[in-house]
Amino acid sequence: MSATPTPTRDLLMFVVFAAAVLTMPMWLAPIGAGYPDLLQKFAIYGLFATGFNLLFGLTGYLSFGHAAFLGVGSYTAVWTFKLLGMNPIPAAIMAIAASGIFAVAIGFVSLRRSGIYFSILTLAFAQMSYNLAYSVLTPITNGETGLRVLRSDPRLFDAAGQGDGPLVSTLFGIEMSGYPGFYFCAVLLIIGFFIAQRIFRSPFGTMLRAVKSNQNRMNYTGLNPRPYTLAAFVISGMYAGLAGALLCITDPLAGAERMQWTASGEVVLMTILGGMGTLLGPILGAGLIKYFENIFSAFNEQTLHRIFGFLPDFLETPVVAITSLFVGEGWQLTLGVLFMLIVIFLPGGIMEGFSRIGRMFRRSSGAKGSHQTAPAE
Amino acid sequence: MDVFLLQLLNGLDKGGAYALIALGLTLIFGTLGVVNFAHGALFMLGAFCAVSFNKLITLQKIIIDPTKTTAWGTPLEVRTPYAEAMFGDFGQWLVNYSVPVSIVLAIPVMLIIGFVMERGLIKHFYNRPHADQILVTFGLAIVLQEVIKTLFGANPIPQSAPDAVRGAADIGAMLGFQAGAIVYPWWRMVYLLFSAAIIAGVFAFLQFTTFGMVVRAGMADRETVGLLGINIERRFTIVFAIAAVVAGLAGVMYTPILPPDYHIGMEFLVLSFVVVVVGGMGSLPGAVAAGFLLGILQSFASMNEVKDVLPGIDQIIIYLVAVVILLVRPRGLMGRRGVMEN
Amino acid sequence: MEILKVQGVNKAFGGLRALNDVNLSVEEGTVHAIIGPNGAGKSTLLNCFVGRLIPDTGSVMFGNTSLIGLKAHEINQAGVSRVFQTPEIFGDLTLLENIMIPTMARRDGEFALKAWGRVDQDAEIRDRSMHMLEDVGLASKKDMIAGSLSRGDKRRLELAMCLVQDPKLLLLDEPTAGMSRADTNNTIDLLKRIGERGITKIVIEHDMHVVFSLANKISVLAQGTVIAEGTPQEIKGDPRVQEAYLGGAHL
């Protein structure tokens, strides 16, 4: 990245992004991803990864405990449903507030250290939350069963409303399942993207990149890095909390496994797969991973035989046998391999790959000073 | 007093496992400067060496005995493990002692795995940022885990300790306490002694051999050792392989205590990292001490008397200790200045 | 009027006494050089001015503020900027961003949550920063990544990052270390030009050519103690200095 894009280009990017998100049901249908459940997941995890990227991509602080905020968001949302009613908006607001407060507490402690120590501190806090949610906090979290909305809950504002049928949140009479559920999440993703874009281009965003680049110089420039990193941590925790709440709007169930550290690892993966520090990358990464999860894990040997049917038999059988390791139950293997390949060959993620291809086409224009970090002299 | 002793013993064997993994992590970190998130997977691979060995020797030959019938009236199937059919009593002994004997299998296997991992992957990450090292080894851990899941399924596979040490010892009675006050499974005792022996072995190796001296010098000041013209890279490979063996053996011997499944490694890894941080990044004695210390603390925290006062403390004690240590003594119990601080 | 007053500063590292009852007084508007052989305690002293080290005893007064116990960023906000021996810049940001950050730090303080407006639309900051880049002759490279600059350019950039803050006191730690003669002369010219702005400067330097072309006053440090102080002329003639610093050779 050399010069920052002009406001016009940013606006264009935003409009194209918004249009792309809202038309996803159409253009993703040909690759088998055009159904609302999956699209909703794209939007939710895109939001999660966008928030994570505000911390990791800009400041370079690698949190291994972000799933804790996802969990807090989910629990808060379900409690809001239980107490206030099934409207998703108060649930989202409460989830953002709760995860924000939680992030202030964790961030205040964790950010006193940096580097791998920070990663391990955040991991420790997330594991602590996870373990507590399973044990002592059972009255709040309902332990292993998970927290769900019951018909006997008070639901202050709409208790009289619903008789029977499954419990889903409703926004002004529209049930948040199927396409309405997706569009609700999509709109929030677009808003989240817009905010992230503003932060990226703002003085605050520049300061966050300064934290990543050289904290020593920052100190000697009269800036205090800690409130900057804390603010980034809290904002990204709020994004995670919102994502957690959205996970509950169609299926109002919150479980502790959402806080497990594998879930934290997943968002790291999404971010680096797409390209940390870029605006679109994490959303792309989140989409790809959720796509793999949903589509690839549904593959079985029959589908593979159909795909490789054109091969002669003596080739088809081994090819199917090998590829079947990577699909269906084995999709996580694919994920792990992909993870390694990306870190090894393309540390900048897919966005970096795009810009490399772009540069190949624009060789003649003499690209100056691409990616160089401060040399250690 | 007897309760105290019991909890101490209970903590020690788990502490032994933490210490062994943390020791390897620290060795790798101290010499190679690499943060290895796949170290738990090595523990898991070790455990599955024991599982495969057991599977191998208990492969069964099925003979249908037409003269006898089962209670359901079908012909009786007589199943004999090949090992028994071929080696007779020795075969039986082998099945019985499959866990400790599989060490013989685990050592070369872990050496090879360690060697391949270091040469094939880790060495390319010496000079990459720590975040990259974490991420690539994390990816590797997922891959190893999934491979094992494909091969062995997702369910835990229980392994049994040899008959001779299967029961529990009434240590209380031996020491003159009330009978039944301190009952401690024999195998856990074996594990404790085993881990102590391995730790002693590693320390002796580092202390008394020339190779160990170079490794220790490398941990203290990598650049200088490199400048002395010592081929540090070859030694790195060996250190990594040793750490892999240590983690693997820890895994082999732990199988009778906890039936291994494919994600056992991850659970241990997270805790071992905390152990390393508490002990002080880059300090071997720190890793061992913190391993045992946290094992014991965890065991005490799970006493009912403690849980009544502080509910849930057993679940979080290790993390809580880590948080406090990192904030009060940022370098850990025995950490040195300047390790991973930029 | 004196801008910086150091009184009775001691600092020991274990058994080593790095600074031994150092007294120093820097007049406003002057260029004050601190010279001395290797290990004399020059960098330690400088680190005591910027919050990196805390003296064991003694006081460091900047105007009416005591600098002791203040954090690095607080000291900078009080008006002290520092150039490092190896340039400390934001290596993966552009030159323009490198300058804008200190400019914003001066205007908005140690922390400001300005997460909405665009940084490149802030005309005041942008103009000031561009002006500064032009001043040091780096304007044409404004969109380059700072890490890819040559060493001399990095140093100029770092200097610009300090100057744009209009510091009351500028600390220069060997500003020409490792530079060619031509680069050194360029730097001297640049520093002289800054001199016209009336910024007080403390320079730590090995190169006598630089010291004598810039300094109004020189303090000589040896083994943690100030052994001589005076104008360049006085120092040149001082036998103690020649003894301690130059081993008796004539300048």
Measured distance CA(C11)–CA(C13) in Å, rounded = 7
**Range 129-158 of C in CB contact (< 8 A) with A:** 143-148, 151
Mean per-residue pLDDT over chain B, rounded: 83
Residue C179 in any domain: the answer is no
pLDDT in tens, B178-192: 777 777 888 888 898
Examine the pLDDT at B219 and tell me if it is beyond 60.
Answer: yes
Rg, Å, chain C Cα set: 19
Residue B305 in any domain: the answer is yes
Residue C141 in any domain: the answer is no
pLDDT at C185: 85
Examine the pLDDT at B94 and tell me if it is beyond 90.
Answer: no
Measured distance CA(A301)–CA(A289) in Å, rounded = 21
pLDDT in tens, A175-227: 777 899 999 999 999 999 999 999 999 999 999 999 999 999 999 999 999 99
Residue of B nearest to A346 (CA): B132
Examine the pLDDT at A163 and tell me if it is beyond 60.
Answer: no
Measured distance CA(A211)–CA(A221) in Å, rounded = 12
State the count of interchain CB pairs (< 8 A) between A and C: 139
Residue B341 in any domain: the answer is no
pLDDT in tens, B8-45: 888 888 889 899 999 999 888 888 888 888 999 999 99
Count of domains forming chain B? 1
> Which of B141, B143, B277 lies closest to A120 in CB terms?
B277
pLDDT at A184: 93
**Range 96-115 of B in CB contact (< 8 A) with A:** none
Examine the pLDDT at B329 and tell me if it is beyond 90.
Answer: no
Chain B hits for A127, CB-CB cut-off 8 Å, are 270, 316, 319
Chain B hits for A119, CB-CB cut-off 8 Å, are 134
Mean per-residue pLDDT over chain C, rounded: 87
> Which of A4, A217, A222 lies closest to C90 in CB terms?
A217
Here the tokens at position B186 are 């024999």
Examine the pLDDT at B74 and tell me if it is beyond 80.
Answer: no
Examine the pLDDT at B255 and tell me if it is beyond 50.
Answer: yes
Residue B295 in any domain: the answer is yes
Using a pLDDT cut of 70, give the percent of chain B over it: 89
What CATH number does the domain containing C249 carry? 3.40.50.300
Measured distance CA(A236)–CA(A231) in Å, rounded = 8
| Average confidence (pLDDT) over A151-166 | 65
Examine the pLDDT at A257 and tell me if it is beyond 60.
Answer: yes
pLDDT at B242: 93
pLDDT at A24: 92
A55-77: b or e for each residue (b if 16 or more CB lie within 10 Å)? bbbbbbbbbbbbbbbbbbbbbbb
| Average confidence (pLDDT) over A138-160 | 79
Residue B84 in any domain: the answer is yes
Residue of A nearest to C161 (CA): A221
Measured distance CA(A224)–CA(A215) in Å, rounded = 9
Domain extent at residue C33: 1-79+200-251
Q: Which of A249-253, B64-68, B310-314, C76-80 reaches the highest mean pLDDT?
A: C76-80
Examine the pLDDT at A146 and tell me if it is beyond 50.
Answer: yes
Using a pLDDT cut of 70, give the percent of chain A over it: 93
pLDDT in tens, B107-137: 999 999 999 999 999 888 888 888 788 888 9
Residue B308 in any domain: the answer is yes
Residue of A nearest to C89 (CA): A217
Neighbours of chain B (3+ CB pairs under 8 A): A
ipTM exceeding the 0.85 mark: yes
pLDDT at A216: 92
Domain extent at residue B244: 2-328
Residue of A nearest to B324 (CA): A109
Q: Given the DSSP bridges, would you call strands A174-175 and A170-171 parallel, antiparallel or unpaired?
A: antiparallel
* pLDDT range class, residue B153, cuts 50, 70, 90: confident
Measured distance CA(A126)–CA(B2) in Å, rounded = 35
Q: Is A375 close to C121, i.e. CB distance below 8 A?
A: no
pLDDT at C245: 63
* pLDDT range class, residue B302, cuts 50, 70, 90: confident
Q: Is C119 close to A203, i.e. CB distance below 8 A?
A: yes
Instruction: With CA atoms as reference, report the closest residue to A266 among A243, A250, A245, A248.
Output: A243
| Average confidence (pLDDT) over A123-148 | 85
> Which of A116, A265, A332 lies closest to B35 in CB terms?
A116
What's the gap in Å between the CA of B274 and the closest CA on chain A?
Answer: 7
pLDDT at A376: 34
Could you tell me if B340 lies within 8 Å of chain A, comparing CB atoms?
A: yes
Task: Decide: A and C in contact? Rule: 3+ Cβ pairs under 8 Å.
Answer: yes
| Average confidence (pLDDT) over B46-54 | 91
> Which of C82, C125, C148 lies closest to A372 in CB terms?
C148
| Average confidence (pLDDT) over A127-132 | 87
**Range 178-207 of B in CB contact (< 8 A) with A:** none
Examine the pLDDT at A370 and tell me if it is beyond 60.
Answer: no
Examine the pLDDT at A130 and tell me if it is beyond 70.
Answer: yes
Residue of A nearest to C47 (CA): A220
> C221: which residues sit within 8 A by CB, 6+ positions away?
C22, C34, C35, C36, C40, C41, C42, C45, C227
Count of domains forming chain C? 1
Task: Decide: C and B in contact? Rule: 3+ Cβ pairs under 8 Å.
Answer: no
Below-50 pLDDT ranges, chain C: 248-251
pLDDT at A3: 60
What is the residue type of B277?
V
Mean per-residue pLDDT over chain A, rounded: 85
* pLDDT range class, residue A373, cuts 50, 70, 90: very low
Question: Residue C218 burial (CB < 10 Å; 0-12/13-18/19+)?
Answer: buried
**Range 198-217 of C in CB contact (< 8 A) with A:** none
Could you tell me if B309 lies within 8 Å of chain A, comparing CB atoms?
A: no
> Which of B139, B281, B323 lies closest to A124 in CB terms?
B323
Instruction: With CA atoms as reference, report the closest residue to C222 among C248, C249, C243, C251.
Output: C243
In chain B, alpha helices (H) = 2-32, 39-57, 82-87, 89-96, 98-120, 130-152, 171-174, 186-208, 210-220, 222-227, 232-254, 264-279, 284-301, 304-309, 313-328
Q: Is A203 close to C81, i.e. CB distance below 8 A?
A: no
pLDDT at A39: 93
Question: Residue B2 burial (CB < 10 Å; 0-12/13-18/19+)?
Answer: middle
* pLDDT range class, residue B173, cuts 50, 70, 90: confident
Q: Which of B150-154, B197-201, B206-210, B263-267 reaches the highest mean pLDDT?
A: B197-201
pLDDT at B226: 67
pLDDT in tens, A307-337: 777 777 777 777 777 777 777 777 778 878 8
Q: Which of A77-81, A100-104, B138-142, B240-244 has the lowest mean pLDDT?
A: B138-142
> Which of A201, A228, A368 lies closest to C118 in CB terms?
A201
What's the gap in Å between the CA of B48 and the closest CA on chain A?
Answer: 18
Q: Is A224 close to C151, i.e. CB distance below 8 A?
A: no
pLDDT at C187: 81
pLDDT at B327: 79
To test the contact with chain A by mutation, choose from C90, C96, C128 the residue with the greatest count of A C-beta atoms within 10 A, namely: C90
pLDDT at B309: 80
* pLDDT range class, residue B337, cuts 50, 70, 90: low
